[in-house]
Amino acid sequence: MQGRLSAWLVKHGIIHRSLGFDYQGIETLQIKPEDWQSIAVILYVYGYNYLRSQCAYDVAPGGQLASVYHLTRIEYGVDQPEEVCIKVFALRSNPRIPSVFWVWKSVDFQERESYDMLGISYDNHPRLKRILMPESWIGWPLRKDYIAPNFYEIQDAH
């Protein structure tokens, strides 16, 4: 089933894939990484002026990684703002997605956390570096194939 935003994107020749609606009735769209930055600008101009959240997850061991953006269209006098969920999938071997920091500044720490935990590189992010783990940390702790270092072996080495 195609939602209102998906129909508008189709009408304007913007390539995407509709993933239907979540349990709250929020439309979910899949955007290719190479199209994400320009579509983000289009969505902002269309009225999605608030980035409610960004997160990421590992789809399956050895599979793709997903970066998820929850956008809201805030307008004066509207009690129920329109929302959309955008999913951008990246290859595990080289997970690169354009940063949308220059569209929604609030994504700064959220993209950094997704980088820190899953290793997704957000191209053109102004400060992409670890935010939770020390810079010397090896690996991406929230990947399903991550093997945590043995804490006791690390302590014994010192």
How many residues belong to the chain? 158
Superfamily of domain 2-145: NADH:ubiquinone oxidoreductase Nqo5 subunit (3.30.460.80)
Extract the tokens encoding 113: 């956390």
The single-letter code of the amino acid at 127 is: R
> Which has the closest alpha carbon to 98: 123, 131, 64, 67?
123
Extract the tokens encoding 23: 């349990």
Between the two ends of the chain, the Cα-to-Cα distance in Å is 58
Q: Where are the domains of the chain?
A: 2-145
Q: What is the pLDDT of residues 13-63, one digit of tens each?
A: 999 999 999 999 999 999 999 999 999 999 999 999 999 999 999 999 999
Predicted TM-score (pTM) of this structure: 0.91
- 3 CB neighbour count, 10 Å cutoff: 19
